[in-house]
């Protein structure tokens, strides 16, 4: 099955990165303005293990690109003496171009950088399946490069986020960007 795997260091503590992974507001800043989400079911204030929501994706906030379900689970594994925290989105696209995929497994993992508690190792892996997976892989690969760029840019703000409010510009009724 085609996959995209990224591993890079970011400038924030691992606890702040873990909270950002669980924040719909942090995701808003991560993907916006390229992709937006319009909730079809209520989004949680924080993604918890077992959370689920259905959203409509919008390109540039204007063009519908399909719907998807987001279904999260959390896990912690001890690898090489280090706790690695993992959030998995095992939801999948329901309609739109990505709905032809038969499987979607997105995992985000964070762990402290050895000897530097102010930095985090971020791992981001997407595994997709289905007859069209190879055709869709280049576009998803580009999207994951955008993710890496935005995560790297935003990470320094996560440690300073007061009360872990990652939005910095949220307004009532605004579409959530993801």
Q: Share the mean pLDDT of the chain.
A: 87
Q: Name the band, by pLDDT with cuts 50, 70 and 90, for residue 170.
A: very low
- Model-level pTM greater than 0.75? yes
Query: What would the mean pLDDT of 44-62 be, rounded to a whole number?
Result: 89
pLDDT at 163: 45
Residue 49 DSSP one-character state: T
Comparison of pLDDT for 36 and 93, the residue scoring more = 93
Report yes or no on 124 lying in a domain: yes
C-alpha–C-alpha distance, residues 149 and 133, integer Å = 24
Report yes or no on 131 lying in a domain: yes
Of 103-112, 153-162, 166-175, the poorest mean pLDDT is in: 166-175
**Strands 35-39 and 52-59: what pairing?**
antiparallel
Contacts of 22 (CB under 8 A, 6+ apart): 46, 47, 48, 72, 87
| CA nearest to 14, candidates 120, 173, 91 | 120
Q: Which two tokens stand for residue 105?
A: 């497994």
C-alpha–C-alpha distance, residues 83 and 106, integer Å = 19
Comparison of pLDDT for 35 and 72, the residue scoring more = 72
Report yes or no on 174 lying in a domain: no
Containing domain of residue 62, as a range?
3-159
pLDDT at 162: 45
- pLDDT greater than 80 at residue 169: no
Beta bridge partners of 124: 6, 108
Quote the percentage of the chain above a pLDDT of 70.
89
- Residue 178, judged by CB atoms within 10 A of its CB (0-12, 13-18, 19+), counts as buried
Query: What would the mean pLDDT of 36-42 be, rounded to a whole number?
Result: 85
Report yes or no on 98 lying in a domain: yes
Beta bridge partners of 79: 82
Number of domains in the chain: 1
Report yes or no on 101 lying in a domain: yes
- pLDDT greater than 70 at residue 8: yes
Report yes or no on 166 lying in a domain: no
Contacts of 137 (CB under 8 A, 6+ apart): 2, 4, 128
Query: What would the mean pLDDT of 1-9 be, rounded to a whole number?
Result: 96
Q: Which two tokens stand for residue 102?
A: 């038969």
CATH number at residue 17: 3.30.530.20
Report yes or no on 170 lying in a domain: no
Instruction: Please identify which residue in the block is written with the tokens 């691992």.
Output: 14
pLDDT at 93: 94
Report yes or no on 172 lying in a domain: no
What confidence tens digit (pLDDT) does each residue in 64-89 have? 889 999 999 999 999 989 999 999 99
Q: Is 16 strand, coil or helix?
A: helix
């Amino acid at each position: 099955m085609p996959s995209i795997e990224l591993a890079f260091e970011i400038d924030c503590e691992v606890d702040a990165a873990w909270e950002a992974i669980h924040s719909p507001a942090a995701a808003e800043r991560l993907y916006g303005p390229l992709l937006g989400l319009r909730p079809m079911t209520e989004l949680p204030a924080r993604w918890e293990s077992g959370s689920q929501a259905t959203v409509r994706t919008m390109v540039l906030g204007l063009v519908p690109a399909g719907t998807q379900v987001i279904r999260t689970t959390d896990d912690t594994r001890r690898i090489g003496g280090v706790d690695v925290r993992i959030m998995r989105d095992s939801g999948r696209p329901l309609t739109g171009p990505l709905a032809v995929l038969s499987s979607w497994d997105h995992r985000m993992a964070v762990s402290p950088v050895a000897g530097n508690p102010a930095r985090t190792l971020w791992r981001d892996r997407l595994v997709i399946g289905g007859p069209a997976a190879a055709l869709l892989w280049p576009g998803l690969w580009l999207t994951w490069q955008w993710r890496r760029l935005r995560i790297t840019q935003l990470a320094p703000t996560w440690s300073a986020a007061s009360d872990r409010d990652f939005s910095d510009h949220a307004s009532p009724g605004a579409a959530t960007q993801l």
